[in-house]
Amino acid sequence: MLQKNFLKITLISAASLLVLSGCTLNLSGLGKKIPASPAGNQGVLSETIEQALAKQSQVKKFSNYDELAAFLAENPAANSYSGGIRALTVSSGMDIGSEVMKNESATGAVQDLGLGAGVSTPSAAPSATTPAGMTGASSDYSKTNIQVQGVDEADIIKTDGKYIYTLSQNSVFIVSAYPAESAEILAKIEFKSRPTDMFINGDRLVVFGSDDLIYKTEMYTSFRRQNPYTFLKIFDISDRKNPKQIRDLDFEGNYQDSRLIGDNIYFITNNYNYYYVAGEPVIPRLLENGAVLPEKCAGNVKCFAPSVYYFNFPYSAYNFTTITVVNSQDASKPVKGEVYLLSGGQNMYVSQKNIYITYTKYISEYQLEMNVFKEMIFSRLSDSDQKMIGEIDAAKNYILSPDEKAQKINMIIERYAASLGTDEQKKLEDDLQAALKKKYEDISKEMEKTVIHKIAIKGDQVEYQASGEVTGNVLNQFSMDEDNGYFRIATTKNRTWLPYYFGIESATDTENAKLDSYSNIYVLDGGLKVVGKIENLEPGERIYSARFMQNRAYLVTFQQTDPLFVIDLSNPANPKVLGKLKMPGYSSYLHPYNNKLLIGLGKNTETNQYGGVITKGLKLSLYDVSNVSDPKEVDTYSFSDETSNSIALNDHKAFLFSAEKNLLVIPYTTNGSGPIVTPMPMMEKVSAGSAGSGSTGVSAPTVEKISVYRPVYRQFFSGAAVFKITEKGFELKGKISHPEISTDSVQDCWWGYCYYDNNILRSLFISDTLYTFSNNYLKANKIDDLKEIKSLELKKEKAGQPSDIEIIN
């Protein structure tokens, strides 16, 4: 029976979640025509779901900033949360190092909080060029583990074969590192605002992070739109002992991602919940040397006047995504770029020619219900109710938001439903449930889609190219690739939970299967039109890792076992699954060994008595994919401690591999299974006196010494595991650790991860020396026998209280 409260809950939920989907509803073709909304106004009923979804991928360009200001004024965002398209963003908008990001697991172990940047996780390519004329540098050194040859990614440590540049909390250290025996710290650049990453490009050091100082300036207090800011500073390091700052930029917004190609830095920032204030710059501000650059360019004055692109649908919140191009060598060159009015940024892939920005859009399950309710009920309403709905729909968005329109229309429909008799309600209930199932089956692939924006880059030029969309959402940057003009992408369509499948009568197995998760591979042409696809891979599972290599894709999906798929992409119009290997556990990261072998880093798993999955310790796998129809696991190495963990699972830059040196290094930690009870200093406990004694009738207070205990969960090991790796498998050479973590060790949180001071975060090599880096130390060991050569302590003492930065020689 269609109870009134059932209908009421459904419609109210629909109204409250309608805004999250960014879509409008439709009652067209129902026998009675709805009055049309005024031209340019987006009514709740004016278009189909399919039409509304299509508009979310069709880009437009504002002709000037006045037009942008008018758009923002006439289309106020409906709420203050993530956008009209619910976005899965890795960029949280949170200040790096803020207290809210600091967390510790129940065991006191270092924990990945999952608050990393929009791009989460890697093939090796040069990260820097050795400056001409540098003496004593080795040409044999490791580069940052990146995804695309020639497209460098920022990191917390870099080397050019002679010097190592490390970012430890608020300081950048420049170290003369080779030869290791004479390694020494040459200079320290100390920041008051927390730097997060850096690039090295010849004699230029680029450092950027969240600008915490700007909030205290008189200029910032005059801004009526007070958003976070990201700093970017460039240093001339031709004299490594005396670095000199040559450029100082501040971007309004939170850092999302960046790449360095040649001399150009492509820098992406986001402004979530952006709001327009009359009299303020309509685009995100760019400051140089503490002054706001004007958005009107005249004469030789430096300015910042990017084009702005948008989508003509009702935004629930605004996210200004700004792509800027900064020349790393010439500080006199202007900053160029473009701004995109999106609803959220999810992941980014960058080739040498294009930037691809993706986000996920959804149809709310409740909106799907709302759509069907209205399709079936509108024609049954009285003329007066239909007229009322038409007038509500015709109201401009700054008078009634789409959410408010939906709520008012819901009240009319609810009133109609309450007027029905018992038999009529039962029939309507049955009709609605059948229509909902049919509607879902018709548009199930539209429920969750990844929107892709292609932006061409060449030198300092940025130009929007095309948009496209595919079913499902993207795991990380390695789920995307560009090859010979084609864009390849792997997605997971997550399970859909629809109440009408499980409410009145249980779903059949066939119906249940239609709601299950599955994975896909899509190939798109240069205009981002789908030309080839494989859909519905491994129903019930989702992608845990992906890697594209030339004409193949490798996918790991997981539920209880780990299927490794080998997929042929040599014919873009006809991708094919060539082979599949199932084994216990899963790989979170895949890395090419050569064209025949693939390395996987992940976790062991086992099933419990209830059929659930228990995640255990770290696992390395070496896959032989030379016979594509029959991939094999050549060798595995499982860490004996079930609590073993590694930041390389989610951060590919922590993964060091060299086939030429037969070298594989990963940071890892293991934790104890129980607490060690540690006494704190003795404390005095004062008890109040009791009545009935003494001259005042109250006894004197009593004082007793008590011990206070706290449980401390010790890390049994924190360091790096060093392997010899060959085509036959793995051999553990040994472990390197920095001084042991104690109860006094300081925990440091940045970029969504928490570590202790002595956790090894990165490793690299120069010639035959392996260097490991933690917040406190840079240690050098021989690669062949891991014998320690030297350990440099990265001093944290401040030489003074700089207003911005201080260079300490």
Give pLDDT tens digits for 70-100: 988 887 765 433 332 222 222 323 332 222 2
Q: Is residue 349 part of a domain?
A: no
Q: Is residue 684 part of a domain?
A: yes
Same-domain check for residues 488 and 585: yes
Instruction: Give how far Cα 673 sits from Cα of 235, 540, 604, 679, 715, Å.
Output: 47, 32, 18, 19, 10
Distance CA 310, CA 308 (A): 7
Same-domain check for residues 628 and 687: no
* Percent of all residues in the chain with a pLDDT value above 70, rounded to a whole number: 72
Instruction: Read off the pLDDT of each residue in 652-680 and give the average, rounded to a whole number.
Output: 81
Same-domain check for residues 579 and 687: no
Name the nearest CA neighbour of 256 among 282, 292, 228. 228
The mean pLDDT value of the chain amounts to 79
Question: For residues 507 and 99, which has the higher predicted lDDT (pLDDT)?
Answer: 507
Cα angle 546-548-553, degrees, rounded to a multiple of 5:
75
Pairing verdict, β 307-311 and 336-342: parallel
pLDDT of 510 > 80? The answer is no
Same-domain check for residues 370 and 435: yes
Instruction: Read off the pLDDT of each residue in 373-393 and give the average, rounded to a whole number.
Output: 86
Phi-psi label, residue 734: left if phi above 0, alpha if psi -120 to 50, beta otherwise: left
pLDDT at 379: 83
Quote the number of domains for the chain.
3
Choose the final residue of a domain: 638, 667, 688.
Answer: 638
Same-domain check for residues 520 and 612: yes
pLDDT at 781: 98
Same-domain check for residues 622 and 697: no
Instruction: Read off the pLDDT of each residue in 709-727 and give the average, rounded to a whole number.
Output: 76
pLDDT at 1: 41
The confidence band for 551, taking pLDDT boundaries of 50, 70 and 90, is very high
Same-domain check for residues 376 and 524: no
Q: Is residue 615 part of a domain?
A: yes
Same-domain check for residues 554 and 629: yes
Pairing verdict, β 676-679 and 683-687: unpaired
**pLDDT tens-digit series, residues 1-48:** 444 444 433 433 333 333 333 333 333 333 333 334 333 444 545 556
Same-domain check for residues 427 and 514: no
pLDDT of 797 > 90? The answer is no
Of 129-133, 296-300, 570-574, 775-779, where does mean pLDDT reach its minimum?
129-133
Q: Is residue 634 part of a domain?
A: yes
pLDDT at 717: 79
Supply the range of the domain harboring residue 402. 4-57+366-445
Choose the final residue of a domain: 445, 472, 494.
Answer: 445
**pLDDT tens-digit series, residues 728-753:** 999 999 999 997 655 456 666 655 56
Name the nearest CA neighbour of 317 among 88, 489, 80, 498. 80
Same-domain check for residues 561 and 500: yes
pLDDT at 272: 83
**pLDDT tens-digit series, residues 138-148:** 899 999 999 99
Same-domain check for residues 379 and 516: no
Q: Is residue 416 part of a domain?
A: yes
pLDDT of 328 > 60? The answer is yes
Same-domain check for residues 620 and 694: no
Of 131-140, 432-441, 482-491, where does mean pLDDT reach its minimum?
131-140
Of 300-309, 372-381, 632-641, where does mean pLDDT reach its minimum?
372-381
Name the nearest CA neighbour of 269 among 153, 357, 192. 357
Question: For residues 721 and 517, which has the higher predicted lDDT (pLDDT)?
Answer: 721
717, 737 Cβ separation under 8 angstroms: yes
Nearby residues of 424 by Cβ (< 8 Å), 6 or more positions away: none
599, 554 Cβ separation under 8 angstroms: no
Distance between terminal CA atoms of the chain? 80
Structure token pair of residue 436: 């909902």
Instruction: Give how far Cα 483 sits from Cα of 470, 489, 495, 652, Å.
Output: 18, 11, 30, 21
**pLDDT tens-digit series, residues 295-317:** 888 777 889 999 999 987 667 67
22, 272 Cβ separation under 8 angstroms: no
Q: Is residue 489 part of a domain?
A: yes
pLDDT of 132 > 60? The answer is no
140, 764 Cβ separation under 8 angstroms: no
pLDDT at 378: 83
The confidence band for 808, taking pLDDT boundaries of 50, 70 and 90, is low
For residue 545, the domain's CATH number is 2.40.128.630
pLDDT of 278 > 90? The answer is no
Question: For residues 765 and 422, which has the higher predicted lDDT (pLDDT)?
Answer: 765
pLDDT of 470 > 60? The answer is yes
Instruction: Read off the pLDDT of each residue in 107-122 and give the average, rounded to a whole number.
Output: 28
pLDDT at 416: 86
Q: Is residue 376 part of a domain?
A: yes
Choose the final residue of a domain: 610, 638, 666.
Answer: 638
Structure token pair of residue 602: 């992940």
Q: Is residue 579 part of a domain?
A: yes
603, 592 Cβ separation under 8 angstroms: no
